[in-house]
Amino acid sequence: MLHGFTGSPESVARVAFPGSRAPILGGHLGEPPSADFWSEVARLAALAPDATRLFGYSLGGRLVLGLLARFPRRFVHAVVVSAHPGLCSEALRAERRIEDQRWIDVLQRHGVERFVADWERQPLWHTQRRLPVSVLAAKRRERLAHTASGLAGSLRSVGLGQMPDLRPALAKTTCVVDLLVGADDPPYVALATELCTILPQGRLRVADAAGHDLLLERPDFCSAHLKQGLEL
């Protein structure tokens, strides 16, 4: 059960089943950042037994895709929520690294509080205005628990600009992969639709009236598809 960027095991606890394991991703809550994307995939792979099931949201979903790309026959089911399979060219990755560097600069110059305030103003989160204030406050506390150096290290090592294009390798994945997205998150609906044409057993699952963070907006939807995976 892999959380997203600025998240924690608390993020996935609301949808986890008994016996689930939720490691802390590199750069979060004192876990040192890995050297690069594949190093983090290798670290997580060492924690996961064979024939296990995977769940990942956003950054965690990208790392689940990395696990599937590196070990195409090892896992029995995966739920991937609002995740990118990697940018298609080095030019696009270079552009993204510039964008990520701007966030790193905010972290280094102004600290976590300013970073979180700016991060939460992104259009990506606009659908969360429907949620109770108490839910959003709890999410903010989760984000503020991190350090500036840790989050900067995460962006440097496993940010989207550092991630390879996984599409060719994902075509060899043998397990069922449920791709969950919110209907009000069009870019990720498009990415999940594309992944369904690449993954031999990819299944698109769209949650109505929801945006990017389905863990926050539709935990019931995530839990339902995890439960279905237990029956495979």
User: Mean pLDDT over all residues of the chain?
Assistant: 96
- How many separate domains does the chain show? 1
pLDDT at 14: 86
Give the chain's length. 232
Which CATH number does the domain housing residue 75 bear?
3.40.50.1820
Q: Which domain holds residue 93?
A: 1-232
pLDDT at 189: 98
pLDDT at 50: 83
pLDDT at 232: 72
pLDDT at 165: 98
pLDDT at 216: 96
pLDDT-flagged residues of the chain (< 50):
none
CA within 13 Å, CB half, 217: 25
DSSP assignments along 55-86, one per residue:
EEETHHHHHHHHHHHHSTTT-SEEEEES----
Write down the residue that tokens 């839910």 correspond to. 135
> Using CA atoms, how far apart are residues 232 and 146, in angstroms rounded to an integer?
36
